[in-house]
Amino acid sequence: MDNQKNLILAVTASILVLLIFDYFYGSNTVNQQAPLIENESSKIYSEKDEPQIDKKNSKETRKIGNKEDRIIFDMKRVQGTINLFGATLDELTLKDYRESINQDSANIKLLQKEDSKNPYFIRMGWASNNESKLPDKNTLWKSEKKKY
What residues contact residue 95 under an 8 Å CB cut-off, 6+ apart?
Answer: 76, 77, 78, 79, 107
Query: Residue 13 pLDDT > 80, yes or no?
Result: yes
Q: Phi/psi at 48 (nearest 5 deg)? A: -70, -20
Query: Residue 66 pLDDT > 50, yes or no?
Result: no
Question: Are residues 73 and 146 part of one domain?
Answer: yes
Question: Are residues 44 and 8 part of one domain?
Answer: yes
Specify if 54 maps to a domain.
no
Q: Which of 110, 76, 105 is nearest to 93 (CA)?
A: 110
Task: Report CA dihedral (24, 29, 31, 36) to the nearest 10 degrees.
Answer: 170
Instruction: Quote the pTM value.
Output: 0.52
Question: Are residues 142 and 69 part of one domain?
Answer: yes
Give residue-wise pLDDT tens across range 117-141.
888 888 877 777 778 888 888 888 8
3-state class (DSSP) for residue 118? coil
Question: Are residues 76 and 31 part of one domain?
Answer: no
Average pLDDT over residues 79-90: 90
Measure CA 85 to chain center: 23
State the residue range of the domain holding 127. 64-148
Question: Are residues 40 and 8 part of one domain?
Answer: yes
Q: Across the chain, what does the average pLDDT equal? A: 79
State what percent of residues in the chain have pLDDT above 70. Answer: 72
Query: Residue 38 pLDDT > 90, yes or no?
Result: no
- Put residue 93 in one of left, alpha, beta given phi > 0 → left and psi -120 to 50 → alpha: beta
Average pLDDT over residues 80-106: 91
